[in-house]
Amino acid sequence: MWTQQDNALYADLKFADFNDAFRFMTIVATLAEAHNHHPDWRNVYNRVQIWLTTHDAGNTVTEKDRALALAIETHPEVKALIAR
């Protein structure tokens, strides 16, 4: 799901439709708040692009990024949305 590029963890995800993409973003927003670590992201219709990087650490990948990435990819609802 994630690749590391340009000092960030990156995911480019496509969903069945806008509603599924928005559901995904809502789940990620809740996880981001719980981790106190927020993504850079972009959404157009059924596509969501996410970049995770730690700005306080000089815009590099840290354990905060890895922990949030793991929480996102292992979330049961996220797994179900991606599998569609």
> Residue 58 pLDDT more than 90?
no
Give the domain ranges of the chain: 3-83
What is d(CA 3, CA 13) in angstroms, rounded to the nearest whole number? Answer: 12
The token duo for 69 is 């990435």
> Residue 84 pLDDT more than 80?
no
2-48 pLDDT, tens digit per residue, is 999 999 999 999 999 999 999 999 999 999 999 999 999 999 999 99
CATH number of 3-83: 3.30.1360.20
> Residue 49 pLDDT more than 80?
yes
- Angle at CA of residue 69, ends 68 and 73, nearest 5°: 120
